[in-house]
Chain A
Amino acid sequence: SQELEQSPQSLIVQEGKNLTINCTSSKTLYGLYWYKQKYGEGLIFLMMLQKGGEEKSHEKITAKLDEKKQQSSLHITASQPSHAGIYLCGADIIGGGSQGNLIFGKGTKLSVKP
């Protein structure tokens, strides 16, 4: 079973609209990372969350980690074509595998229509 579930799997939004991507774990997360990937390229680091209730922002992207540290959301405000790509969450899950190794979700494919 997938230890990190991302939803939705894909998303098409009109330019200027807001959107939210979710990442859920059945176990407590030690650290939660958000990456962006464009087709044929590597992962670009966006943000890292570690404390329950933590929220970070970079430009128009905001990520939150819930108090129980089992779910994170990534919110994009006023989406632009440059936001298009695959968003991946990766986490070090307490009690799941070797600590220090990230487990990734399957990703959310975002398309932004001009």
Chain B
Amino acid sequence: EAGVVQSPRYKIIEKKQPVAFWCNPISGHNTLYWYLQNLGQGPELLIRYENEEAVDDSQLPKDRFSAERLKGVDSTLKIQPAELGDSAVYLCASSRVQFSTQYFGPGTRLTVL
């Protein structure tokens, strides 16, 4: 069974530029999560989807971050414009349903110069 796929793996951009991350969850997993992980910290939830509905986006900085999960499968997380403090690893995870085990992708390491 294929795991969670994320791309790109690495991204370097200059501040004020836009950036987008893509995630393909495990087949059949209805719940999808985006996490932010800073160096030396555990992941912090940005947004959770149940199918195509964003059911918890309370931690998503909506002034510059946006996300979508069209058709309830793939998801895209966008930052516009990026700031220096956005440099981090962005992790995508999926689970079969809410409360079941979350499986993580390899992450996208973003560096903002």
Contacts and interface: CB of A to CB of B under 8 A. Distances in A.
Interface of A: 4, 31, 33, 35, 40-45, 48, 88, 90, 92, 98-107
Contacts of A43: 43, 91, 93, 104
A5 to B, nearest CB: 11
B109 interface: yes
Contacts of A104: 42-44
How many of chain B's residues touch chain A, expressed as a range? 20 to 34
Given A48-B101, A100-B48, A100-B99, A42 B42 contact: no
Given A31-B99, A42-B91, A43-B91, A102 B45 contact: yes
Contact of B102 (A40, A41, A102, A105): A102
Contacts of B104: 35, 42-45
Contacts of A100: 31, 48, 98-99
Given A98-B56, A102-B45, A92 B109 contact: no
B103 interface: yes
Interface string B61-99: 000000000000000000000000000000101000011
A94 to B, nearest CB: 12
A88 B102 CA distance: 13
